[in-house]
Structure 1
């Protein structure tokens, strides 16, 4: 069994466990993430969906054909971005109990970055997604 990291929403009604290491850790600056998170970007750790267990009642909103946004139905905390094809789920970094468990390794969709956001962390930046 791999490392298990836990987290949850603001009110505690939803708790989750993520097992193992994330596939990647990115900051997304796309407009969908900005709107869904109510923030200039979405900092998240991407896991295989099978690595995540969730307890508590969540709601979901289909923000695109490919992604559902998952939130706590009680307090509204935005927790996950779940790919509808069943492959991966992005977990908001600040929702982990140890909010320093992961550090982002790159920025994606900087072409849609809010103008006043300054990226001076020396991480790789991609205009859209990471090239294949």
Structure 2
């Protein structure tokens, strides 16, 4: 019997907890302006999972940041947890919300054409001007 990896995480106040089963299909750092605004940060470091791989406990709130994506957060403490595709396919899980914040490491940078000027990318990871599949 195959044993699947389960990674757990949650928000700052503990009102929202989640489990991500299996491996993500990508682990990226997105520098697009929408992610910057949505996360209140220069970038969004996230692991992308199939939505069906996620189990969420606790009340969440959503904000439609585009035609395609909702941003999911804890309404109590405001922790930004997920970018959630509205078509029911994928979810980006904020890496820092996992209990083991070092469990997954990014493999590339996307949307570096919108990166803030003062951020230096010298980690040796591939960089893409826009998004990649």
TM-score range relative to shorter protein: over 0.9
- Large movers: runs of 4+ above 4 Å: none
Aligned length in residues: 131
| Aligned alpha-carbon RMSD (Å) | 0.7
User: Which residue of 2 is the match for residue 63 of structure 1?
Assistant: 65
Question: Cα deviations across residues 44-81 of structure 1 (Å, max 9, x unaligned)?
Answer: 00000000000000000000000000000100000000
TM-score, length basis structure 1? 0.98
User: Which residue of 2 is the match for residue 80 of structure 1?
Assistant: 82
For the pair 1:31 / 2:10, whether they are aligned, the reply is no
User: Which residue of 2 is the match for residue 43 of structure 1?
Assistant: 45
For the pair 1:112 / 2:87, whether they are aligned, the reply is no
Task: Kindly state the Cα deviation for residue 4 of structure 1 after the two structures are TM-superposed.
Answer: 0.4
CA distance in 1, matches of 2:31, 2:48: 15
User: Which residue of 1 is the match for residue 92 of structure 2?
Assistant: 90
Task: Kindly state the Cα deviation for residue 10 of structure 1 after the two structures are TM-superposed.
Answer: 0.1
Structure 1: segments with no counterpart, 5+ residues? none
User: Which residue of 1 is the match for residue 22 of structure 2?
Assistant: 20
Structure 2: segments with no counterpart, 5+ residues? none
Local SS of the residue matching 2:113:
helix
For the pair 1:53 / 2:55, whether they are aligned, the reply is yes
CA distance in 1, matches of 2:82, 2:99: 15
TM-score, length basis structure 2? 0.97
Question: Cα deviations across residues 87-106 of structure 1 (Å, max 9, x unaligned)?
Answer: 10000000000000100000
